[in-house]
Structure 1
């Protein structure tokens, strides 16, 4: 084991789910370099995620949005990073732009997958074998080891830590009670409608859960207010939190759920990393590539001939993969995972 002090910078993903799937890699780096200082460069809105990862020393805000080149800002940031004296940078996104700042900062070891033909930008460049590493979490994790290291270690599941005081503050701020069992429904999926279980199905499920004595909380960002409002209109007793919480508050409140129902989305990965039981609903995407990384999950999918298509909008116009996935199937899975976790 290498015990040398090491300063490591991670160019982190901008998506919630991807950012969470990087956490096992941070744990592996800490295992290899116990005294290491690990910083992440990521969009400011991901700070609540990294603040709940015990391995991260500091989150540095990336001053550019998705797809923006902003060469002047990248050069300025590179000068600031150069002064920090990083020994290594690991670049998780596959774009050319994500590898520019590490090069300009003169970081000695620049690690990452080939991606968009990044020879020269990276000098510890890896060639991906998608058969050996089918899951994104595996691909991130492999970058924590040497290039030719054997892939014998099982990738641990992501873990987010919660501060109970922050969670209590979120409950008080929103006037929420924990007197009844809490079941979370996360009906959004930023990628597109082909990953969103229909609102009418979610509402029918919510009504059944309420009849069984649970309270149902809807979670989502401001982008999910429309689908959550549609669910709330059909099931008026739900507590609609979409757009009313920060990401930090949503994470803390989700840790209170007895069980959650999620699409393949960032919040699905949040729930899994909080070690809460969950039912994951898959439509256009594949649980083989981005599954919920926990033993406390059941995946519900119809495995139709046309799926997974990985499209944002159903190319056939019917979205049978989710429209035909009825609430009774999800309720059955929910009861099964709840029972198994209570054994």
Structure 2
């Protein structure tokens, strides 16, 4: 009997479940519908989520797991052996690998779990007792649905009704962001959180587009932009502010992951590329204008969010983000600032009156 043909696991034997997704922000958030499904199917089971320390805040306190096992991003050999020892002591019945990378496959294999469930990927499929395809000849499959398909090995009738979930901001995080809101004069405004980068050049809308977009907002007095991004985006922030010649409220490089949760809880709209903050905004039920370049909405659209997705139907999409065949990143950079402004107007107007919301806009997931 091949691994993929294994008989159904008896639900009564499932008491302790290991979940593995070490990184990154968006990918971890996209596993949370599967966590909801598992908690619904196995309310008494012990769920342990293995994640790298920089992203543990996304799972801690979400009410879906019993333990968060936070590991160093680069634990080294001794650290890795220590992690494996901890996992084996916990005597898991089932391990689900939401990642499929070499290290997560090794941890699942070495965990001592009785049943191991993962994706049918090259070179690593032998690790798992039960395999789930990650891609299908019929077309792209959303990442959330792929993760739910792993859960269906344990509970075949699992549906797609489960939404994203992240823990709320903590009091000290809210206090910090409330103070910034007051200092920047944002309390009387609608706040548009503008993510100015997604960590790599393939998802960079470009300085010119960002500046033109911000200039286009000048006449929209009731809406103020708030720049968000990581420390790596400080150079881009400087370029934007120098080109504009005026200050813009900015928290670029100033927020922890918990602070970012507090920021997006207060914001009225998120604008930015396919990224971790985009999925965080979706988890917090914020309206989203999402700019898709090399990735496909069919794989990574904001899950169950009120979203307008802007993209260009180029033959080179999706790509592996190693080099741009067009040499100009046209898939993202040809999205016009004017288009983004119109999408923002539509979404913000829908918050006060559903009449103007374009319900059939391509990419909406409701």
TM-score, scaled to structure 2 = 0.84
Q: Any stretches of 5+ residues in structure 1 without a counterpart?
A: none
Match 2:204 to one of 196, 210, 225 = 196
> What is the CA-CA distance between 1:33 and the residue it aligns to?
0.4
Measured in 1, the distance between the counterparts of 2:313 and 2:193 equals: 25
Distance change in 2, residues 1:118/1:148 (3 Å): farther
RMSD value, Cα: 2.5
Q: How does 1:23-38 map to 2 (within 5 A)?
A: 23-38=32-47
Measured in 2, the distance between the counterparts of 1:130 and 1:11 equals: 23
Measured in 2, the distance between the counterparts of 1:112 and 1:328 equals: 43
SS in 1 for 2:297: coil
Equivalent in the alignment of 1:262:
272
1:107 and 2:121 equivalent? no
Distance change in 2, residues 1:313/1:242 (3 Å): farther
> What is the CA-CA distance between 1:164 and the residue it aligns to?
6.4
Task: Report the more deviating stretch, 180-189 or 161-170.
Answer: 161-170
Contact 1:21 1:158 in 2 (8 A): yes
Equivalent in the alignment of 2:319:
309
SS in 1 for 2:151: coil
Match 2:193 to one of 184, 205, 216 = 184
1:281 and 2:294 equivalent? no
Distance change in 2, residues 1:129/1:171 (3 Å): closer
Distance change in 2, residues 1:233/1:156 (3 Å): farther
Task: Report the more deviating stretch, 23-32 or 153-162.
Answer: 153-162
Distance change in 2, residues 1:45/1:173 (3 Å): farther
Contact 1:228 1:242 in 2 (8 A): yes
Q: How does 1:121-200 map to 2 (within 5 A)?
A: 121-131=127-137, 134-146=141-153, 149=156, 153-163=159-169, 165-172=171-178, 174=180, 175-176=183-184, 177-190=186-199, 192-200=200-208
- Aligned pair count reads 338
Equivalent in the alignment of 1:9:
18
Contact 2:119 2:125 in 1 (8 A): no
Contact 1:95 1:115 in 2 (8 A): no
Task: Report the more deviating stretch, 192-201 or 257-266.
Answer: 192-201
Equivalent in the alignment of 2:83:
77
Q: Any stretches of 5+ residues in structure 2 without a counterpart?
A: 1-9, 355-366
SS in 2 for 1:239: coil
Distance change in 2, residues 1:148/1:314 (3 Å): same
Contact 2:41 2:155 in 1 (8 A): no
Measured in 2, the distance between the counterparts of 1:102 and 1:283 equals: 33
Measured in 1, the distance between the counterparts of 2:321 and 2:125 equals: 30
- Stretches (4+) displaced over 4 A: 1-5
Measured in 1, the distance between the counterparts of 2:67 and 2:217 equals: 41
Task: Report the more deviating stretch, 197-206 or 238-247.
Answer: 197-206
> What is the CA-CA distance between 1:245 and the residue it aligns to?
0.9
Equivalent in the alignment of 1:330:
340
